[in-house]
Every structure is written in C-alpha cells, then in structure tokens.
Amino acid sequence: MSKDFILTTSRGELLRITAYGIENLNFSACIILVHGFKGFKDWGFGPYVANYFVKNGYFVLTFNFSHNGVGNSLTKFVELEKFAENTFSLEIEELVELINAYKNGFFGNKFVKKIGLLGHSRGGAISLLASQIQNEISAIAVWSTISKLDRYSERQKEKWRRNGVFEVFNTRTKQIMKLNLSLLEDIEKNKDGILNLEKAVTQLDRPLMIAHGEQDLAVNIAEAEQLYEWSNKKNTEFYKLPNSGHTFGMKHPFESSNAVLEDLLNKTKFIFNKNLH
C-alpha cells in the first residue's frame, strides 16, 4: 500500500513524497530512492523499483526535489524557473531534511529502523554527499552515478557567466532547460566543502554498492571506476553491467522490466539485506 505526503522544508519548499509499503513501516528498514538530473520520483522504473523492495519487506520513500521542475504535475516539467534555480547544496539539504522527517515520525512511524539510500545518476552523488551529514545512513547503493559535479569546460563556464544561464536540451521532452549562474557558483564555492565528492567517498565508513552500465553514454563508466578507486574496498561492491546504458534499457513511461534491471535489483537487495537487517 502506498500513500502520498507533502513535506514543507525549513526554506518553505515542498517535497512531494510517495511512501510505499506502509504496512512495513514499523517493522522494516527504510530505503529512500533519490532521483537524478531531469528525473522525478515517478519516472520510468521508479515506482517499479519501490514496489520491488516493498515485496522484499522494506518501507520505501520516493520523492521529488523541490526544484526538479515538475511541481504539481508530478511527471511534466512545468516549473522551469525553479529548475533553473536548483543547486547541489539545496538537494543535499532537502535529502537530509527528508531523513530527519522519517526519524521524527513524519510518516506515522513509532520506531526508526535502519536507513538505506538508493541514488540514480546525480542522485547517487547527492546520496554520497548527504552521508557526510547523516550518520544514520547504514548503506548506500548508487546506480549510473557521476564522480564529478563540475562537468563544464572553461569555455562553457565563460559563456555561462556572460549569459547568466546555461542551456540543457531534454532529448525526451524536447524542452530547453536553463540553469542559472547560482549552480555554477555553488559548485565553485563548495567544491572543497560540502560538495567534495572525493572526500565523501574516501571517508565513507558504511557499505557502498556501485553499479554502472558499460555502455552508459550519459555518464561514462570511468566515473564509476573513479568512485571505486576512492572507496574503502573492504566496504564496497562494484558491479559492471555489460551491454547496458544509463537507465538499463528502461524508459519513460515504464512498460516492463528486463533481465538487466532484475539482476541489478537482486544485487542491490543483497547489499541492503546484508546491512539493513
């Protein structure tokens, strides 16, 4: 059974949340799914993945970052102005607030169980960075995840500063989505602090699973290899998925699963079962 919630953050922003497996709430560990750039909680495999873990005995939270652009529509990018204002630091802050809400019984839970994070693409990086703040996270799984937040050339940055915006084309929706200068300023200001991904992974003292498609054209598998190089090998599992891309053959809207996704889910379940019970 699932139920929708809206959490108002300390900044007055709204996090739209779907809680899956309400029946497991007080008896099971909590897994939080963290979407990536141009993603949202109901994208493609999101609900399927949530229900998979519910069937395996977990309480699962999916949510939309306040500035991911979809707003009340839930699946269409109708808040492009807010999308443009998003920053990495804001996403970390919101994920931490969501975890605190769970710990404080926001979802009606009387008990706090172990917490696992499952992040896809940029959501994996946000999960790793949030782990520097939230010690209660017991295990992290990252799929197709980036190892660098600064993904822009000096020429692009120069143009960005000159124009005040950086334009991104969404190949699925055919929309031009703008990023304000505030994102670049966030990267540069906090690269040695809260946004230091190398530090977050190097100092991570909890189990980590890294999974990446060898044919990922959006985020090269070299970035997964970089994450693994930084990691504590005693606590880390690294899975390379042959003949698989950024979303493992899945698209939006979701049609059906495939062998790659099922294998990935089983591997991820193994990591969570080992560390969240």
Write the burial class of residue 247 (CB in 10 Å: 0-12 exposed, 13-18 middle, 19+ buried): buried
What per-residue confidence (pLDDT) applies to 236?
Answer: 98
What per-residue confidence (pLDDT) applies to 54?
Answer: 98
What per-residue confidence (pLDDT) applies to 55?
Answer: 98
pLDDT digits (tens, 9 = 90+) for 90-123: 999 999 999 999 999 999 999 999 999 999 999 9
Pairing of strands 14-20, 30-34: unpaired
What per-residue confidence (pLDDT) applies to 38?
Answer: 97
Instruction: Compute the average pLDDT of residues 23-50.
Output: 98
What per-residue confidence (pLDDT) applies to 41?
Answer: 98
Pairing of strands 14-20, 2-8: antiparallel
Q: Are 265 and 241 in contact (CB under 8 A)?
A: no
pLDDT digits (tens, 9 = 90+) for 238-248: 999 999 999 99
pLDDT digits (tens, 9 = 90+) for 115-166: 999 999 999 999 999 999 999 999 999 999 999 999 999 999 999 999 999 9
High-pLDDT (> 90) share of the chain, % = 100
CA angle, 129 as apex, 195 and 250 as ends, to 5°? 110
What per-residue confidence (pLDDT) applies to 5?
Answer: 98
What per-residue confidence (pLDDT) applies to 217?
Answer: 97
What per-residue confidence (pLDDT) applies to 223?
Answer: 98
Half-sphere exposure of 30 (CA within 13 A, CB side): 25
Q: Burial letters for 105-114: b for 16+ Cβ neighbours within 10 Å, e otherwise?
A: eebebeeebb
Q: Are 39 and 63 in contact (CB under 8 A)?
A: no
pTM of the predicted protein model:
0.98
Q: How far apart are CA 61 and CA 31, in angstroms?
A: 6
Q: Burial letters for 29-67: b for 16+ Cβ neighbours within 10 Å, e otherwise?
A: bbbbbbbbbbbbbbbbbbbebbebbbebbbbbbbbbbbb
State how far Cα 166 lies from the chain centre: 22
What per-residue confidence (pLDDT) applies to 270?
Answer: 98
pLDDT digits (tens, 9 = 90+) for 209-261: 999 999 999 999 999 999 999 999 999 999 999 999 999 999 999 999 999 99
pLDDT digits (tens, 9 = 90+) for 164-208: 999 999 999 999 999 999 999 999 999 999 999 999 999 999 999
N-terminal to C-terminal alpha carbon distance within the chain: 21
Q: Are 165 and 156 in contact (CB under 8 A)?
A: no
Q: At what angle do helices 88-103 and 181-190 cross, to 10 degrees?
A: 80
Task: Spell out the residues 6+ positions from residue 152 whose beta carbon is closer than 8 angstroms to its own.
Answer: 160, 166, 184
What per-residue confidence (pLDDT) applies to 21?
Answer: 98
Domains of the chain (ranges; CATH) run: 2-150+193-276 (3.40.50.1820)
What per-residue confidence (pLDDT) applies to 205?
Answer: 96
Task: Spell out the residues 6+ positions from residue 195 whose beta carbon is closer than 8 angstroms to its own.
Answer: 88, 89, 129, 149, 186, 187
What per-residue confidence (pLDDT) applies to 129?
Answer: 98
Q: Are 33 and 60 in contact (CB under 8 A)?
A: yes
Instruction: Compute the average pLDDT of residues 46-68.
Output: 98
Neighbours of 242 (CB within 10 A): 8
Q: How far apart are CA 44 and CA 77, in angstroms?
A: 15
Q: How confident is the model at residue 76 (pLDDT cuts 50, 70, 90)?
A: very high
| One-letter amino acid of 217 | L
